[in-house]
Amino acid sequence: MKLSMIIIFCSLVLGINSQGWLSFLKEAGQGAKDMWRAYSDMREANYKNSDKYFHARGNYDAARRGPGGAWAAEVLRWP
């Protein structure tokens, strides 16, 4: 339900056309992959108090993908 509301909101407010949706979804997938890579690197590094660096890196890499990546970074952010 939440995802469908986000899709409707994006299409109405942002005016994303059909090809825009494809690029948005691609960027979102790549952004989620960036977030997962940062999380995996954090777990592998296993350094005390290094989580803020990896969180920032994951958010930065995902947001650089474009609007879809920024959306993924916002949705998948760590508490």
Bigger pLDDT: 52 or 2?
52
Task: Kindly state whether residue 12 falls inside one of the protein's structural domains.
Answer: no
Within 8 A by CB and 6+ apart from 31, the residues are: 61, 62, 63, 65, 68, 69, 70, 71, 72, 73, 76
Taking the complete model, does pTM exceed 0.85, yes or no?
Answer: no
Task: Kindly state whether residue 7 falls inside one of the protein's structural domains.
Answer: no
19 with 58: CB under 8 angstroms?
no
Identify the pLDDT of residue 12: 58
Task: Kindly state whether residue 56 falls inside one of the protein's structural domains.
Answer: yes
Residue 24 has which token pair? Answer: 């948005």
Task: Kindly state whether residue 3 falls inside one of the protein's structural domains.
Answer: no
Structural domain count of the chain: 1
Domain of residue 60 covers 18-75
How far lies 78's CA from each of 23, 47, 51, 60, in Å? Answer: 25, 17, 10, 13
pLDDT at 52 over 70: yes
Which pLDDT tens digit goes with each residue over 4-49? 777 666 665 555 555 677 788 888 899 999 999 999 999 999 988 8
